[in-house]
Chain A
Amino acid sequence: MWIKHNRTLLKKVLPLLAILIIVGAAASGCYGRQQPKGWSGVTVAGDTLFVASIEGSLVALNTADGTRLWPDSILGGSDSKVAVYGSPAVEGDLVYVAGYNGKVYAINSESGALRWVYPREGNLEPIVGAPVVSQGRIYFGDSDGKVYTLDAATGDKVGELFQTGDKIWSTLVVDGDTLYVGSFDKKLYALNTADGSQRWQFEVGGAIGSALLVYNDTVYIGAFDGCFYAVNAADGSLRWQSEVAATSWFWAKPVVYNSVIYAPCLDGKVYLLDAETGREVAGAVDLMSPISSSPVVVDDEVIIASQEGKVYFLGTSDNRLGLLFDVGESGQEIFAPLSASNGVVYIHAQTQKEDILYAVEAETGDEAWRPVTLSSK
Chain B
Amino acid sequence: MGFGELWNAGPVALMINSLIALSSYFAGSFGIAIIIMTVVIRSAMYPLTAKQLHATRAMQEIQPRVAELQKKYGKDKQRLAQEQMSLYKEQGISPAGCVVPMLIQMPIWIALYQSIMKVLPIVPEELLGLSRFLWDWPMVYSALPLNSTFLWLDLVRPDIPIAIIVGATMWLQQKMVTPKTADPQQRAQSEMMLWMMPLMFGFLAMSFPSGLALYWVISNVITIAMQYFTVGGWGGLVRAKAGAGSGAGGVLKQRIAQVEKSPSRITAMEADVVDSTATEEEEPTTYGGGYTTDISRVKHQPKRGKHHKRR
A194 within 8 A of B: no
For B, the interface residue count at a CB cutoff of 8 angstroms equals 35
Asked if A290 and B184 make an inter-chain contact with CB atoms under 8 angstroms apart, the answer reads no
Residues on A with beta carbons closer than 8 Å to the beta carbon of B207: 28
Asked if A13 and B193 make an inter-chain contact with CB atoms under 8 angstroms apart, the answer reads yes
- Type the 1/0 row for A201-216, where 1 means its CB is closer than 8 Å to any CB of B: 0000111010000000
B96 within 8 A of A: no
A9 CA to B195 CA in the complex, in Å? 14
Residues on B with beta carbons closer than 8 Å to the beta carbon of A34: 123, 125-126, 129
Q: Which of A8, A28, A100, A249 contacts B131 (CB 8 A)?
A: A249
B142 within 8 A of A: yes
Which of B99, B113, B144 gathers most chain A CB within 10 Å?
B144
Q: Which of A9, A21, A31, A251 contacts B113 (CB 8 A)?
A: A31
Please classify how large the interface on chain A is, using the bins under 10, 10 to 19, 20 to 34, 35 or more: 35 or more
Known: A21-B200, A31-B113, A206-B142. 11 other contacts (CB 8 A): A5-B188, A6-B188, A13-B196, A27-B110, A27-B114, A33-B126, A39-B124, A128-B124, A224-B142, A266-B128, A290-B128
A39 CA to B142 CA in the complex, in Å? 24
- Type the 1/0 row for B183-198, where 1 means its CB is closer than 8 Å to any CB of A: 0110011001100100
A23 within 8 A of B: yes
* Among listed B133-141, B228-236, B242-250, interface-contacting one: B133-141
A-contacting residues, B162-218, CB 8 Å: 184-185, 188-189, 192-193, 196, 200, 204, 207-208
Interface CB pairs A-B, < 8 A, 10: A9-B189, A13-B196, A20-B200, A23-B106, A27-B114, A31-B114, A33-B123, A83-B123, A85-B124, A247-B136
10 cross-chain pairs, A with B, having the tightest CB-CB distances, nearest first: A225-B142, A36-B123, A247-B136, A9-B189, A206-B142, A266-B131, A31-B114, A34-B125, A27-B110, A24-B204
Interface residue ranges, A against B (CB under 8 Å): 2, 5-6, 8-9, 13, 16-17, 20-21, 23-24, 27-28, 31-37, 39, 83, 85, 100, 126, 128, 167, 169, 184, 205-207, 209, 224-226, 247-249, 251, 266, 290, 292, 335
Asked if B131 and A207 make an inter-chain contact with CB atoms under 8 angstroms apart, the answer reads no
